[in-house]
Structure 1
Amino acid sequence: MPKLLHGRRALGGKATARWLANLGISPSGPERAEVDAQAWAQFLFLTLRTTIMARGPKKHLKRLAAPSSWMLDKMGGAHAPRPSPGPHKLRECLPLSIFLRNRMKYALTGREVTLIVKQRLIKIDNKVRTDETFPTGFQDVITIDKSGENFRLMYDVKGRFLCHAITAEEANYKLCKVKKIQLGAKGVPFLVTHDGRTIRYPDPLIKVNDSVKIDLTENKIVDFVKFETGNLVMATGGRNMGRCGVIVHRERHLGGFDIVHVRDVLDREFATRVGNVFVLGQGNKPWVSLPKGKGVKLSIAEERDQKRRVAAK
């Protein structure tokens, strides 16, 4: 009697015979081959049906597996806060608890973060959020009315999330990259932005990879900037993450990834995929304020000299 695999363990010859007998199949007789084939088919059906199942959503995140852009220290515990499902991907977001506890130092523990957000003190894109693991992402505006502070999430030139302080006037709008444009039900055109917004009846001149300026109080598009040569962009992915510059030209590769060449203010060029480019303004003038350094990446020697000059003052 051949051995059968049941789940993760093998059944012996006698166990296989008992299992076939329980199914009402006799392992002997002239039709042995046909019986064995039927037994195998039924066995595989039952095994696959019972052992390959959905395990449900993952609810934990190890600290070593967390994105490096969160800048968590290795010895700070075994786990990190796992972001809730939301407008940004897990690898491209910053949970609200890390913003309040690790960056702003407004809380010492996760319990204190919960107490803060449950008081409805934190707004993200002009909407109160009470989920301590809500995923905030690039260009999101975080408002703390009690302290009168406004922050916009940006990247530094090393690819880490940066909480850039902005004015109350600038906190009324944000830039969003257009990811998709389609026709919906009854031929209604709509676009989808990088933060999951769906906006109906956009301007027909808006295309994929353009950036739209959204009024956060009315949730409407007030202006847009085209993805074209000469406009200011920031790299939001790849090894040039956080660098800013002006588009020089775009290489088109049919069946592959289009490559965009960008030149910064120091006349240094770098190239990245078109999916990693976010348009920030018309010409060389940004529509949002840039963080310290203006997206210019320095070499190790230049960083050393800059620190020495600052220390000498």
Structure 2
Amino acid sequence: MKNHLKRIASPRTWAIDRKNNKFITRPRPGAHSFENGLALGVIIRDHLKLASTMSEVKKTLNNNEVLVDGKRRKDHRYLIGLFDVLKIAKKSYRIIFDRKGRIIVTEISEKESQIKPCKILGKTVLGKNKIQFNLHDGKNIIVKTDAKVGDTLLLKVPQLEIIETLPLKKGVTVFLTKGKHSGDVGLFKEIKKGEAIYSKGKEEIETAKEYLFVIGKEKALLEIKN
């Protein structure tokens, strides 16, 4: 696989300059899908402006502690995606989608950097009251707590301890991960005729159920700046 990709051919979800440079670093295959993640080096150089070249990025990764979900990463092509927590230069950031469905980086508090919501995409009963959850960011955790596919586990990072289970039910706060309302935040209402309905103010909006990501009960547990 090539290490670079033509910027003009990159996914629309990548919020990058497509005109001034021809190529961009291709992320290695990882926990997130290709269109829903960016190379760590691109985040550091193009989004945070902490380096001017990829050579400078590599020096930063080798000489400084750059943490993703609490673990040090040195690979400039490491894939980073939705709700991942990045710590660099004594500041903390979270990866989210903006209202156009593009990947952006938003600064967060030290307190918020210790939590991460992870959506359950699959589950397997292993016996002896143990369940393995397959999460949206590629993580697999084995616990005794039961939950449903589509629910969210609020994890403490980097320990990956479950702080709270956030079920997809009426009244919870949801974040839209895809579709024309990507990046939106609202209150989940119901599933009607196969479509999910959430409210934003007085407006009720229909979307696909799989686009919903629970991020809180009555209020969001994350600060969404998009």
TM-score (normalizing by structure 1): 0.68
Which residue is equivalent to 1:286? 220
Instruction: Work out whether residues 157 and 242 of structure 1, in 8 Å CA contact, stay in contact via their aligned partners in 2.
Output: yes
Match for residue 263 of structure 1 among 184, 191, 199: 199
Unaligned runs of 5+ in 1: 1-56, 253-257, 293-313
Residue 157 of structure 2 corresponds to residue 216 of structure 1: yes
The alpha carbon displacement at 1:71 in A equals: 2.2
The alpha carbon displacement at 1:67 in A equals: 1.7
* Percent identical residues: 27
**SS across alignment from 2:42:** helix
Q: Radius of gyration: which is bigger?
A: 1
Match for residue 41 of structure 2 among 86, 97, 101: 97
In the TM superposition, what whole-angstrom CA distance separates every residue of 1:38-82 from its partner, at most 9, and x where no partner exists?
A: xxxxxxxxxxxxxxxxxxx45442211212232222323322211
**SS across alignment from 1:70:** coil
Which structure carries more strand by proportion? Answer: 2
Q: Distance in 2 between matches of 1:277 and 1:65?
A: 28
**SS across alignment from 1:152:** strand
How large is the RMSD of aligned CA atoms in angstroms? 1.8
Q: Match of 1:269, as an amino acid?
A: E
Q: Distance in 2 between matches of 1:291 and 1:149?
A: 16
The structure with higher relative contact order (CA 8 Å, sep 6+) is 2
TM-score (normalizing by structure 2): 0.93
Query: CA 1:60/1:165 → structure 2, altered by over 3 Å: closer, same or farther?
Result: closer
Unaligned runs of 5+ in 2: none
The alpha carbon displacement at 1:260 in A equals: 0.7
Residue 107 of structure 2 corresponds to residue 190 of structure 1: no
Q: Distance in 2 between matches of 1:140 and 1:161?
A: 11
Match for residue 56 of structure 2 among 108, 112, 119: 112
Instruction: Work out whether residues 120 and 128 of structure 1, in 8 Å CA contact, stay in contact via their aligned partners in 2.
Output: no
Q: Distance in 1 between matches of 2:68 and 2:182?
A: 23
Which residue is equivalent to 1:162? 104
